[in-house]
Amino acid sequence: MTEDTTNLVNVDLSGQVAIVTGASQGIGKACALDLARNGARVACLARNAEKLAATVGEIEAAGGQAAAFACNVTDRESVDQVVDQIADEWGRIDILVNNAGITRDTLLPRMSDEEFDDVINTNLRGAFLFMRAVSKHMMSARYGRIINMSSVSGIQGNAGQTNYSASKAGLIGMTRSFSREISRRNVTVNCVAPGFIVTEMTAVLSEDILKQAKAGIPARKLGQVADVAACVTFLASGAASYITGQTLTVDGGMTG
């Protein structure tokens, strides 16, 4: 697998089935690769079929197991159908990583209804739909790990990202609430909140912007997708069985 191996976490996920949304690139791809490296069979979901096929190909080339599934994360029927399909074909669902997300950045006075609704529907409603769909399988099995991808923008806000920050803050609240409902069934629900991470999106930023970003990070460097994936893998493992309702920031000290 072509992944950054700087911060690997080694756990045993053999025989487990994981769903990763937004698995075609960036953090989602890194999570899918790392879960597969640790033995999980990974259902990779995303809109870009070509990039998704590349993720599956990397996993399989390294000896792992994965498959691509098409799904509109904002559509209840589509989500319910794909979750039931995975459970029927693979026999179980142990891990859910709600990573699919979009941005529609602009200042609030200029933000259209569509720009607000699109981000909330994908980032927050999509996670809700998947949590609800997998919960019946996890409760029946009396085991599960749900990891929602929030952001430091959901903790401290960010100018021009009112919609995005609202969606990521909503994920934190939803995580805390659902963890209280389902913990007695041996299902944990946690958030990971990345800071400034090197991805395809940051690659197009100017050097000046990147310098400004680093200056605001106590660690004085940008994070890597492997940093986030390692935290997700840990939370998905048995080692994190007594951690639930929490938000783990991966931000080099941005939020203090």
pLDDT digits (tens, 9 = 90+) for 83-118: 999 999 999 999 999 999 999 999 999 999 999 999
Q: Is 242 part of the annotated catalytic residue set?
A: no
**The residue to which tokens 């930023």 are assigned:** 205
Consecutive 10-residue averages of pLDDT for the chain (256 residues) = 61 97 96 98 94 96 96 96 97 98 96 98 98 97 98 94 97 98 97 93 76 89 95 97 98 91
* Residue 223, phi-psi category: left (phi > 0), alpha (psi -120 to 50), beta (remainder): beta
Specify the pLDDT at position 7: 67
Q: Which has the closest alpha carbon to 235: 225, 245, 224?
A: 245
Are 17 and 90 in contact, with CB atoms under 8 Å apart?
yes
Write out the two tokens for 197.
């991470």
Question: Dihedral of the CA atoms 31, 51, 98, 219 (nearest 10)?
Answer: 50
Which one from 116, 130, 143, 164 is the annotated catalytic residue?
164
Tell me how far apart the alpha carbons of residues 101 and 27 are, in angstroms, rounded to a whole number: 11
38 alpha carbon, distance to own chain's centre: 17
Using CA atoms, how far residue 28 sits from 35, 52, 116, in Å, is: 11, 10, 23
Write out the two tokens for 188.
């944990």
Specify the pLDDT at position 1: 39
H helix runs in the chain, sequence order: 26-37, 49-61, 76-90, 113-120, 126-141, 153-156, 162-182, 207-215, 225-236
Q: How many CA atoms lie within 13 A of 236 on its CB side?
A: 36
Domains of the chain and CATH, by start: 17-243 (3.40.50.720)
Name residues whose C-beta falls within 8 Å of residue 233's C-beta, 6 or more positions apart in sequence: 9, 11, 13, 31, 34, 35, 38
